Structure 1
């Protein structure tokens, strides 16, 4: 059976980690915007944002390794889990080699010959690109170590590294702002590379010294069959990850081409909101992931269904209480966050929030799909849906629609992906799709719509500024709790929650 106390403890520690990294991300974004200026900020976001995009899909990429480790740990086979870790390291080295080959050929050609970059800035753009590629490779090699911490449920170590990560983000940007560099965007990319290298060294040190499954022993001949299995599994996982990056980067490139660098910079800033909420969602999901995989590996489908339902409800609740105030008071939040709010940003934040409300429900089902392990057909269909969304964005821009309409195509993409994942999990595991689609999803949608409309109405009678945002957040929190109690939670779930509160009090 699942130890709910351990999951609660892990969730608490992960939230502390997530809050620190979120604060560092938002604060340093403001510092960088002021240091670079709007134009250079937009130019960097065009070339170097692949690292930022990879950070929010890292949870999905780590699931490939985590899935194999969790299966071994669930069965108590620590020797096999150690082989999985070492094989995963080899697999990620191979993946890095393939990405480097692609980046330095087709990617570099596209950068130098197809982007409308002023000739005077081509040298800066080239070096930002090279530094960003190295940073990306370091991020990829970090994945097996992150997956090992999560699979072993060592959330205390994971949280400590997160604290260090948050500090180094601020410190690197602080150092960057102290000096009057001539080529600012190049030096900014260099400082980021140093920061990523430091974080990797901490992950490496912690895992190899404190986790028995992370003892380095890269003997390929002994693990040939496992190498093939994990490589193909990770390759399909990487295809899905690259599809996410391709969709985000594709939208950014199309926006840069059809609208301009300022709009592209605004999209990059809106992506920071998306990254922040994905960290919230990832924090919740990280506590559930090992148990979902372990329960599936031992054939406990009833417990898997219960964990999926609980994870969806908890994720929806946390996203609603935090995202709806962002939607309603997007302008106030943008002004608090940035001294000078770029054009397009406020409405793009609202679009991102709607996307998050839909996409957040997919997380538990993605974990279940990775637990099943049959990724080829799944990733083909997911990639096709994302490619269709990118093509729709291109058509909308080509026909002259605004940036808001074009970017909104991602919302439809998120909904289609959610429906597909629910049906895929139902077919693979026997978990009821009907229960989610006809019972849970309509109830969650009702709560979201009512809370958004009520908060928007109440905002007309609340003072502006930071105090008004706090008041609106408190009112929205009350509305969401009431609606969840009435329409989402079952009687048994309500009794359990009330019992837990009484016990604490």
Structure 2
């Protein structure tokens, strides 16, 4: 049976963790920029962008590990779950080996021969790259432990480690700014490495000490079948992740080719806003996802349906209260963030806000698809839809339409993917596609459209700048809450929420 109080508590803890880490990241970025200077900060960012391209492997392996652990815990089979944990360590060690080979060949060649780095800074860049690679390896190896905490729904421990992570980030940057170093950029990378090692140690100590499923007992021969199963699952997941990266980078390259470097820069900045939204959405869904997988693993289809719809509604609510003010007041928000509004960025931010409203609803269905585990046909179709979206973007550019029209093709892609995922889950699990497509989604769409139009009308009567943005955010929050209560939520759901509030306060 699903414990909604536990999910509510976990959500609260995860949001606190996310807000603290985002604040520390923002604050320390300013400290590092002031200490390194614009040029060295830019050089470090170049190296970081290459490492990020490799780090998507960690996201894939984390999803696969969490899925298998949640299935084992859902079946209450702790012995099998512990085997999954130990196998995931082996899998991540193999991933690290492959990553080292790729990074020291293709990655290093690209860094030294294709990037325009001054010859006198090549040594610095080389060592920063090597240190950053080691940092990434520690992050990858902590994935089995992090996934175990999430699958076990130990969000209190996960949040506490997040607080420690935020503190060590600030401490490492603070110590770095205290002293003078001959090569600041290398010293900064070393301080970050020390921080990553500390977080890794904390994950290992807490998980092995607090969780029975994290007892390390690696036996390769006995678990060959399980290793193959997890690798097979991860490989199909990787195809989907490559499609996402291909679509994102493909749109950026097409924009650079047809429009120019300024538009390409605005595309990159708009992507950062999308990343921020995804963090907010991911935090909410992380609290619910383990339960979706566990309930499916024990054949509880009724609770799976309830959790999917609940997750969709809560996700839509969180997105609407955050994305609608961004859509309405994009110009001021961008200027508040950057000090100016680059060309194209305001319109692109509005497109991102609409895109995220649609795409966020796919999250619970993706989790259910991972619970089912049949990824081959699913990933083929998803990849085909994404590549068609990229082709559509190319045709729109070729026909001479604006960058806004071309990038809006991604909204169409998100809608098609959502419909496909809903139908796919209907066929594999029996969760009603008709109820979502013709009841839940139209209600959510109605609330979103009415809220956007109402806030757009109201914004003309609000003060300019910061006070107006605060008022718009508060009024939008109250308006969306009112609309959700009477349009989206059913009587039973309203009563449950009111009861939870009464019990809490």
TM-score bracket, normalised by the shorter chain, equals 0.7 to 0.9
Q: Normalising by structure 1, what TM-score?
A: 0.88
Tell which deviates more after alignment, 451-460 or 120-129: 120-129
Which residue in 2 is equivalent to 1:215?
215
- In the TM superposition, residue 43 of structure 1 has moved relative to its aligned partner by 6.2
CA distance in 2, matches of 1:480, 1:149: 33
- In the TM superposition, residue 128 of structure 1 has moved relative to its aligned partner by 5.2
- In the TM superposition, residue 354 of structure 1 has moved relative to its aligned partner by 2.0
Whether 1:373 and 2:373 are equivalent positions in the alignment is yes
- In the TM superposition, residue 111 of structure 1 has moved relative to its aligned partner by 4.8
Which residue in 2 is equivalent to 1:91?
91
Which residue in 1 is equivalent to 2:281?
281
Which residue in 2 is equivalent to 1:412?
412
Q: 1:169-217 deviations in whole A, cap 9, x for unaligned?
A: 3344445556677876666555544433332232222212221111112
Whether 1:206 and 2:212 are equivalent positions in the alignment is no
Contact 2:112 2:122 survives alignment (8 Å): yes
Tell which deviates more after alignment, 359-368 or 36-45: 36-45
- In the TM superposition, residue 105 of structure 1 has moved relative to its aligned partner by 3.2
User: 1:376-395 residue pairs with structure 2 within 5 A?
Assistant: 376-393=376-393
Structure 1 pair 202/412, CA: closer, same or farther in 2 (3 Å)?
Answer: farther
Whether 1:76 and 2:63 are equivalent positions in the alignment is no
Q: 1:74-132 deviations in whole A, cap 9, x for unaligned?
A: 22221111110000111122222223333333444455555666777766665555444
Which residue in 2 is equivalent to 1:472?
472
Q: Which SS does the other structure have where 1:49 is aligned?
A: helix
Q: Which SS does the other structure have where 1:222 is aligned?
A: helix
Which residue in 2 is equivalent to 1:430?
430
Contact 2:5 2:500 survives alignment (8 Å): no
CA distance in 1, matches of 2:178, 2:394: 41
Structure 1 pair 411/110, CA: closer, same or farther in 2 (3 Å)?
Answer: farther
Q: Which SS does the other structure have where 1:431 is aligned?
A: coil
Contact 1:11 1:287 survives alignment (8 Å): yes
CA distance in 1, matches of 2:38, 2:343: 10
Tell which deviates more after alignment, 250-259 or 351-360: 250-259
CA distance in 1, matches of 2:407, 2:173: 30
CA distance in 1, matches of 2:453, 2:21: 31
- In the TM superposition, residue 243 of structure 1 has moved relative to its aligned partner by 3.2
CA distance in 2, matches of 1:254, 1:125: 29
Structure 1 unpaired stretches of 5+: none
Query: What RMSD in Å do the two structures reach over aligned CA positions?
Result: 3.3
Contact 2:236 2:376 survives alignment (8 Å): yes
- In the TM superposition, residue 334 of structure 1 has moved relative to its aligned partner by 3.0
Q: Normalising by structure 2, what TM-score?
A: 0.88
Tell which deviates more after alignment, 285-294 or 39-48: 39-48
Q: Which SS does the other structure have where 2:431 is aligned?
A: coil
CA distance in 1, matches of 2:208, 2:263: 44
Q: Which SS does the other structure have where 2:460 is aligned?
A: helix
Tell which deviates more after alignment, 176-185 or 72-81: 176-185
- In the TM superposition, residue 306 of structure 1 has moved relative to its aligned partner by 0.8
Structure 1 pair 161/284, CA: closer, same or farther in 2 (3 Å)?
Answer: same
Q: 1:140-179 deviations in whole A, cap 9, x for unaligned?
A: 2222111100111111110011112222333444455566
Q: 1:471-496 deviations in whole A, cap 9, x for unaligned?
A: 11111011111221222111222233
Contact 1:259 1:403 survives alignment (8 Å): yes
- In the TM superposition, residue 467 of structure 1 has moved relative to its aligned partner by 2.6
Contact 1:36 1:185 survives alignment (8 Å): yes
Contact 1:38 1:265 survives alignment (8 Å): no
User: 1:310-349 residue pairs with structure 2 within 5 A?
Assistant: 310-339=310-339, 343-349=343-349
Contact 1:46 1:253 survives alignment (8 Å): no
CA distance in 2, matches of 1:191, 1:382: 40
Structure 1 pair 201/79, CA: closer, same or farther in 2 (3 Å)?
Answer: same
User: 1:23-172 residue pairs with structure 2 within 5 A?
Assistant: 23-31=23-31, 45=45, 47-49=47-49, 61-112=61-112, 129-172=129-172
Q: Which SS does the other structure have where 2:299 is aligned?
A: coil
CA distance in 2, matches of 1:29, 1:234: 33
CA distance in 1, matches of 2:37, 2:412: 33
Contact 1:13 1:156 survives alignment (8 Å): yes
Which residue in 2 is equivalent to 1:290?
290
- In the TM superposition, residue 250 of structure 1 has moved relative to its aligned partner by 4.3
Aligned residues: 505
Contact 1:150 1:290 survives alignment (8 Å): yes
Structure 1 pair 248/171, CA: closer, same or farther in 2 (3 Å)?
Answer: farther
Which residue in 2 is equivalent to 1:227?
227
Tell which deviates more after alignment, 166-175 or 179-188: 179-188
Structure 1 pair 312/246, CA: closer, same or farther in 2 (3 Å)?
Answer: same
Structure 2 unpaired stretches of 5+: none
CA distance in 1, matches of 2:198, 2:259: 37
Q: 1:358-387 deviations in whole A, cap 9, x for unaligned?
A: 111111011101110111222232233333
Contact 1:38 1:262 survives alignment (8 Å): no
Contact 2:50 2:107 survives alignment (8 Å): no
Q: Which SS does the other structure have where 1:461 is aligned?
A: coil
Higher relative contact order (CA 8 A, sep 6+): 1
CA distance in 1, matches of 2:169, 2:417: 33
Which residue in 1 is equivalent to 2:270?
270
Q: 1:18-45 deviations in whole A, cap 9, x for unaligned?
A: 1112222333445556666777766655
